Amino acid sequence: MHQDSRIFVAGHRGLVGSAILRQLAAEGHANLVTRTRAELDLTDQAAVRAFFDREKIEHVFLAAARVGGILANERQGADFIRDNLLIQTNVIDAAWRAGVGKLLFLGSSCIYPRLAEQPMREDALLTGALEPSNKPYAVAKIAGITMCQAYRKQHGFNAICGQPANLYGPGDHFEPESSHVLPGLIRRFHDAKVAGAPSVTLWGTGTPRREFLYVDDMADACIHLMRHYDEGELINLGTGEDIAIRDLAELVRETVGYAGRIEQDLTKPDGHPRKVVDVTRLTAIGWRARMPLDEGIRRTYAWFLGNGAAPYAAAAE
Ligand code: GDP
At what angle are helices 293-303 and 245-256 packed, to 10 degrees? 50
Please report, rounded to a whole number, the percentage of residues in the chain having pLDDT higher than 90: 94
Per DSSP, the three-state class of 242 is coil
- Please identify, by atom number, the ligand 1 atom nearest to the C-alpha of residue 275: 2
Residues whose CB is less than 8 angstroms from the CB of residue 158 and which lie 6 or more positions away in sequence, other chains included:
101, 102, 103, 152, 230
Q: Which residues line ligand 1 (CB under 6 A)?
A: 69-70, 110, 134, 166, 179-181, 184-185, 188, 202-204, 208, 210, 245, 268-272, 275
Dihedral over alpha carbons 163, 166, 170, 173 (to 10 degrees):
110
Q: Is residue 13 part of a domain?
A: yes
User: Considering only CA atoms, which residue is closest to atom 23 of ligand 1?
Assistant: 184
Question: Mutation test of ligand 1: which of 130, 203, 247 has the most ligand atoms closer than 8 Å to its C-beta?
Answer: 203
Q: Which H or E run includes 249?
A: helix 245-256
Q: What is the CATH number of the domain that holds 11?
A: 3.40.50.720
Instruction: Let me know if residue 313 belongs to a domain.
Output: no
Q: 218 and 287 in contact (C-beta within 8 Å)?
A: no
Residue 284: inside a domain, yes or no?
Answer: yes
**To test the ligand 1 pocket, which listed residue (15, 67, 70) has its Cβ within 8 A of the most ligand atoms?**
70
Cα 182 to ligand 1 centre (Å): 8
The rounded distance, in Å, linking the Cα atoms of 138 and 160 is: 17
pLDDT for 39-74, tens place per residue? Answer: 999 999 999 999 999 999 999 999 999 999 999 999
Which domain does 270 fall in, by range?
A: 7-306
> Is 316 part of any domain?
no
- Which of the 8 DSSP states describes residue 222? H
Active-site annotation holds for 301: no
Residue 137 lies in a domain: yes
Average pLDDT in the chain: 95
From the CA of 146, how far away is ligand 1's center (Å)? 27
How far is it, in rounded angstroms, from Cα 8 to Cα 165?
Answer: 23
Q: What percent of the chain has pLDDT over 70?
A: 97
In a domain, 275, yes or no: yes
Is 190 within the bounds of a domain? yes
Give the residue among 215, 217, 210 at the shortest CA–CA distance from 288: 217
Alpha-carbon gap, residue 78 to 74, rounded angstroms:
10
- At 155-190, the pLDDT tens digits run 999 999 999 999 999 999 998 889 999 999 999 999
- Catalytic residue, from 112, 137, 168, 301: name it: 137
User: What is the reported pLDDT for 316?
Assistant: 37
pLDDT at 313 over 70: no
Q: In testing the pocket of ligand 1, which one of 66, 134, 181, 277 has its CB within 8 Å of the most ligand atoms?
A: 181
What does the pLDDT look like over 19-40, one tens digit per residue? 999 999 999 999 999 999 999 9
Is residue 311 predicted with pLDDT exceeding 60? Answer: no
Helix (H) or strand (E) run with residue 254 in it: helix 245-256
Kindly state whether residue 17 falls inside one of the protein's structural domains.
yes
Q: Is the Cβ–Cβ distance between 266 and 234 less than 8 Å?
A: no
Domain count, the chain: 1
